[in-house]
Amino acid sequence: MRKAYIVTVALFALAFSLASASDPDPLQDFCVALEDYSDSKSAVFVNGKFCKDPKLVKPEDFFFKGLNIAGNTDNKVGSNVTTVNVDTLPGLNTLGISLVRIDFAPYGENPPHTHPRGTEILVVVEGTLFVGFVTSNPENRLFTKTLNKGDVFVFPVGLIHFQLNVGKTNAIAISGLSSQNAGVITIADAVFGSNPPINPDVLTKAFQLDKNVVEELQKKFGDEK
């Protein structure tokens, strides 16, 4: 009986932790992020941002302009992400959602990355994208799909995923994320471009590469920052 009770409590605790593993629900109509922290004495700190006094909130706090403008894809990966999150749209604070526009040059890619705090749902607006994600250890299953205009794909929270433009023309995608600030970790940048650099011996063993190759990669990605 005692063992059954302990198991029940453990399962309940696990379920609760999973249920609370995303942005918490707001306890008021809105909590517009305060941009001017000089007035923070009259504000309340909620979920990473100070809340503006509701009496001072304006329509502009819920407005973002410019998502129709293409991002500059003239870079090494051939893509650009325009982010609409709590840092650029204060009214998103505590609401648990955000948005990005991803522009791709021909054969450009949004390289393998993760969003530690949000699930992503992507819709292709223009072009053709090859997308996919990899599951966690030990299976590391790869799920891929070629998407055309109007197609939708979901990338589960925290999993490594990517998007590649396989067309000869520019491509555009819009993604919604289940967090006001989902975060992003680009795998190559984080591993080979960390500051300070990871000890090459660690990466040599982890990736089964020659140490000279690791050091060259660290130099390449470190110099790009």
The annotated binding site is made up of 110, 113, 115, 120, 161
The annotated binding site for oxalate is made up of 110, 115, 120
Helix (H) or strand (E) holding 177: strand 171-177
Q: How far is CA 216 from CA 75, 198, 208, in A?
A: 20, 13, 15
The annotated binding site for Mn(2+) is made up of 113, 115, 120, 161
Which residues is 152 bridged to in the sheet? 123
Longest dimension (CA), the chain: 66
CB 153 within 8 A of CB 147: yes
Q: What is the number of helices (H) and of strands (E) in the chain?
A: 4, 12
Q: Sign of dihedral through CA atoms 35, 36, 38, 39?
A: negative
Kindly state the tokens that stand for 170: 């520019």
Euclidean distance between CA atoms 209 and 213, whole angstroms:
7
Query: Does residue 78 come out as left (phi exceeding 0), alpha (psi in the -120 to 50 range) or beta?
Result: left
Other C-beta atoms within 10 Å of 103: how many? 24
Axis crossing angle, helix 211-223 with helix 200-207, rounded to the nearest 10: 120
